[in-house]
């Protein structure tokens, strides 16, 4: 583990150079890793671990769509694919990758298979941080660890197949064996992380919930909609409004930001664009900062967690979610986006 200076602040970081895959395989050579859940993170993490040579099994409810997806991905019933309880029993490391609501529901099953010396692994700090609300309280004789890839399981898998890595945070909540650190770092390397930066369960979930509701998903959709609607109200066509709002950002400018930073992207745009962006960015910051401050307070108070628990546990949750997503999908902006994507050169 090295200390790296980020903008004047020293942080603990683990790289693949100092903790290579060969070392990770040695650390976990006698372990059986069970991936419980095959939804958002399960496929990417399990397939990357399998391809990297680790002993991995999957636990999923038989007959579910996720079970069928696991079979399609090459997991073999009775050999590498089992029901949730059997997989948890076989494992020395349980990667608990069900949804937050799913983790609450299945916890009694998982808990009874947490024998001393096992490790309980999360990719989200939700269940542990809000344990008074979730009821997820691990026994004291197991390691409790976290690897949180900074992106979806789909992105994790795609980048792995491209020979790249998606950065992840890591945390140790409970070190019962004295091996929790080497276990969590080995798993972080195994699932395909670029580099690993230290956090704790509370900081992970606070930043994650804020980010998802903020710039990663909620805020960006809100800004897209506001600009698109303004352009359309002033006579611009759907194609023009979408290209100026979404397409240019995602296809042209954000890759430049990822490559060398926002200042470099500014420097490689027209002087007119530079001037306008420099004049207006602080106005957008000042307009949105109160919303982010309110959001963070709601996350820290546990209100966002409780809302997720309450709504996502309802029997009609999936139907209501589909209705909300359909409303977005069928909006003019994203209907236009579907046409624009088909017109990209790589799709013709």
CATH number for position 292: 1.10.1040.10
pLDDT in tens, 212-239: 999 999 999 999 999 999 999 999 999 9
241 and 124 part of one domain: no
Counting the structural domains of the chain, the total is 2
pLDDT at position 164: 93
Using alpha carbons only, how large is the chain's radius of gyration in Å? 22
Structure tokens at 100: 């937050």
Tens of pLDDT along 42-68? 999 999 999 999 999 999 999 899 999
Asked whether the predicted pLDDT for residue 75 surpasses 90, the reply is yes
User: Which of 104, 102, 110, 109 has the alpha carbon at shortest distance from 66?
Assistant: 102
- pLDDT of 160 > 90? The answer is yes
**Same domain flag for 104 and 245:** no
In a domain, 45, yes or no: yes
Last residue of a domain, one of 160, 175, 199: 199
Same domain, residue pair 189 and 318: no
Catalytic residue among 50, 118, 124, 232: 124
Supply the pTM of this predicted model: 0.90
Closest to 225 (Cα-Cα) out of 242, 209, 212, 210: 242
User: Which range, of 5-19, 57-71, 134-148, 281-295, averages the lowest pLDDT?
Assistant: 5-19
Q: Is 310 annotated as a binding residue?
A: no
Q: Which range among 16-30, 279-293, 301-315 shows the weakest confidence by mean pLDDT?
A: 301-315
pLDDT above 90 (res 6): no
Same domain, 226 and 308: yes
Known catalytic membership, residue 113: no
Do 223 and 195 fall within a single domain? no
Q: For residue 209, name the pLDDT band (cuts at 50, 70, 90).
A: very high
| 208 is known to lie in a ligand binding site | yes
Q: What is the pLDDT of residue 299?
A: 96
Both structure tokens of 137: 């309280």
Percent of the chain scoring above 70 in pLDDT: 100
pLDDT at 43: 96
Task: For residue 248, say whether it is annotated as part of any ligand binding site.
Answer: yes
Select the more confidently predicted residue: 345 or 287.
287
Q: Which long-range contacts (CB under 8 A, 24 or more apart) does 330-333 make?
A: 331/225, 332/232, 332/238, 333/224, 333/225, 333/228, 333/238, 333/241, 333/242, 333/245, 333/246
pLDDT of residue 273: 93
Instruction: Indicate whether 72 belongs to any domain.
Output: yes
* Cα first-last separation, the chain: 47
Q: Does residue 219 share a domain with residue 194?
A: no
Q: Is residue 243 part of a domain?
A: yes
The answer for residues whose C-beta is within 8 angstroms of residue 114's C-beta and 6 or more apart is 94, 120, 138, 139, 142
For residues 99-129, b (16+ Cβ closer than 10 Å) or e, as one string? bbbbbbebbeebbebbeeebbbbbbbbbbbb
Integer Cα distance of 139 and 268 in angstroms? 55
Rounded to whole angstroms, how far apart are CA atoms 167 and 151? 8
Residue 69 pLDDT grade (very low, low, confident, very high; cuts 50, 70, 90): very high
- Which one of 154, 170, 199 terminates a domain? 199
Domain that holds residue 337: 211-347
CATH at residue 80: 3.40.50.720
Range scoring the smallest mean pLDDT among 7-21, 24-38, 319-333: 7-21
- Phi, psi at 29, each rounded to 5°: -65, -30
205 found inside a domain: no
Query: Per the annotation, does 244 bind a ligand?
Result: yes
| Residue 204 lies inside a defined structural domain of this protein | no
- Residue 7, pLDDT score: 84
238 is a domain residue: yes
Q: Do 67 and 195 have their domain in common?
A: yes
Stretch 287-316: mean pLDDT: 94
In a shared domain, residues 220 and 342: yes
Query: What does the pLDDT read at residue 345?
Result: 87
Judge whether 241 and 232 are in contact, CB under 8 Å. Answer: yes
The more confident residue out of 108 and 12 is 108
Mean pLDDT of 100-114: 95
pLDDT of res. 171? 97
Q: What is the mean pLDDT of residues 96-108?
A: 94
Domain annotation covers residue 80: yes
Report, as an integer, the average pLDDT of 282-308: 96
Instruction: Report if residue 68 sits inside a domain.
Output: yes
Confidence of residue 3 (pLDDT cuts 50, 70, 90): confident
Say yes or no: 195 and 124 in one domain.
Answer: yes
**Token reading at 117:** 């010396």
Q: Are residues 91 and 144 in the same domain?
A: yes
Q: Are residues 251 and 178 in the same domain?
A: no
141/241 same-domain check: no
pLDDT at 313: 86
């Amino acid at each position: 583990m090295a200390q790296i200076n980020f903008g004047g602040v020293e942080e603990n970081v683990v790289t693949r150079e100092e903790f290579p895959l060969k070392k990770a395989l040695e650390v976990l050579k006698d372990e059986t890793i069970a991936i419980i859940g095959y939804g958002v993170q399960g496929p990417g993490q399990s397939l990357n671990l399998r391809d990297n040579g680790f002993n991995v099994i999957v636990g999923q409810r038989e007959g579910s769509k996720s079970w069928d997806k696991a079979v399609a991905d090459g997991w073999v019933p009775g050999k590498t694919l089992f029901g949730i309880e059997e997989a948890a029993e076989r494992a020395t490391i349980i990667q608990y990758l069900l949804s937050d609501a799913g983790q609450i529901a299945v916890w009694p099953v998982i808990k009874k298979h947490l024998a001393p010396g096992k490790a309980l692994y999360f990719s989200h700090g939700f269940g542990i941080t809000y344990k008074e609300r979730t009821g997820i309280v691990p026994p004291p004789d197991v390691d409790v660890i976290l690897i949180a890839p900074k992106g979806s399981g789909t992105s994790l898998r795609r980048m792995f197949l491209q020979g790249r890595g998606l950065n992840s945070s890591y945390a140790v909540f409970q070190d019962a064996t004295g091996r929790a650190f080497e276990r969590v770092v080995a798993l972080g390397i195994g699932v395909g992380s670029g580099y690993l930066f230290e956090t704790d369960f509370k900081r992970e979930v606070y930043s994650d919930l804020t980010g998802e509701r903020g710039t990663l998903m909620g805020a960006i959709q809100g800004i897209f909609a506001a600009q698109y609607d303004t352009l359309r109200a002033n006579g611009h066509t759907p194609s023009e409004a979408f290209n100026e709002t979404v397409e240019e950002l995602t296809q042209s400018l954000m890759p430049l930001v990822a490559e060398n930073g926002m200042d470099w992207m500014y420097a490689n745009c027209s002087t007119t664009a530079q001037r306008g962006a420099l004049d207006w960015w602080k106005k957008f910051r000042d307009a949105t900062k109160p919303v982010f401050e309110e959001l963070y307070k709601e996350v820290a108070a546990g209100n966002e967690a409780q809302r997720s628990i309450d709504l996502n546990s309802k029997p009609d949750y999936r139907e209501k979610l589909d209705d909300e997503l359909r409303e977005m999908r069928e909006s003019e902006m994203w209907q236009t986006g579907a046409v624009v994507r088909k017109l990209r050169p790589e799709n013709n």
